[in-house]
């Protein structure tokens, strides 16, 4: 089965390809960016300004390799690609939850951007805690448990 996906716009960010200062996740980013939606899809932005956060789905267009195991930045041992968020995936789909700061026609000013400038945008969804985290308690985060929660405890 072939699935055809076309970008609905792109993401402007302060990070150029090769920038070592690019955050590894939106939760580690205070950077601002602009989500530019192609004019043919602008009507789909009606009422998005009422949301504080949005989910961006995008294409890792700078990732060319496909690997099933990669050593992530937060560890020194290889992990399965589906246990990490590395861009060298079979399908190069990325996801970020960012703060929606302002809507100006077909441009969305966002905070927490963690992608390279010009990243192709596939979709936007509103972040709704009651939908997206409802009933999820006592979570486990696998190999990241020692990396992230240990860091939080020492802060």
Report the distance separating Cα 131 and Cα 75, nearest Å: 31
Residues counted in the chain: 155
> 0.75 exceeded by the pTM?
yes
- Residue-wise pLDDT tens digits, 21-44: 888 888 888 999 999 999 999 999
Domains and CATH numbers, the chain: 9-154 (2.40.30.70)
Task: List, in order, residues 6 or more apart from 116 with CB less than 8 Å away.
Answer: 13, 15, 16, 17, 19, 22, 62
Which position has the higher pLDDT, 84 or 150? 84
- The whole-number pLDDT of residue 150 equals 53
Which position has the higher pLDDT, 154 or 134? 134
Confidence of residue 82 (pLDDT cuts 50, 70, 90): very high
Report the distance separating Cα 109 and Cα 76, nearest Å: 35
- The whole-number pLDDT of residue 142 equals 83
- Tell me what the mean pLDDT of segment 71-97 comes to: 92
- Three-class SS of residue 56? strand
- Residue-wise pLDDT tens digits, 89-128: 999 999 999 999 999 999 999 999 999 999 999 999 999 9
- Residue-wise pLDDT tens digits, 53-69: 999 999 999 988 899 99
Share above pLDDT 90 across residues of the chain, in percent, rounded to a whole number: 67
């Amino acid at each position: 089965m072939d699935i055809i996906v076309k970008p609905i716009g792109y993401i402007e960010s302060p990070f150029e390809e090769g920038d070592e200062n690019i955050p590894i996740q939106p939760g580690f980013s205070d950077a601002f960016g602009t989500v530019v939606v192609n004019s043919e899809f602008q009507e789909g932005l009606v009422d998005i300004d009422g949301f504080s956060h949005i989910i961006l789905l995008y294409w890792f267009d700078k990732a060319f390799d496909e690997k099933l195991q990669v050593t992530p930045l937060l560890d020194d041992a290889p992990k399965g690609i589906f246990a990490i968020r590395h861009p060298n995936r079979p399908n190069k789909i990325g996801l970020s939850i960012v703060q929606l700061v302002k809507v100006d026609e077909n441009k969305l000013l966002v905070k927490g951007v963690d992608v390279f400038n010009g990243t192709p945008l596939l979709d936007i969804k509103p972040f709704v805690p009651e939908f997206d985290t409802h009933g999820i308690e006592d979570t486990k985060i696998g190999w990241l448990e020692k990396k992230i929660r240990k860091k939080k405890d020492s802060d």
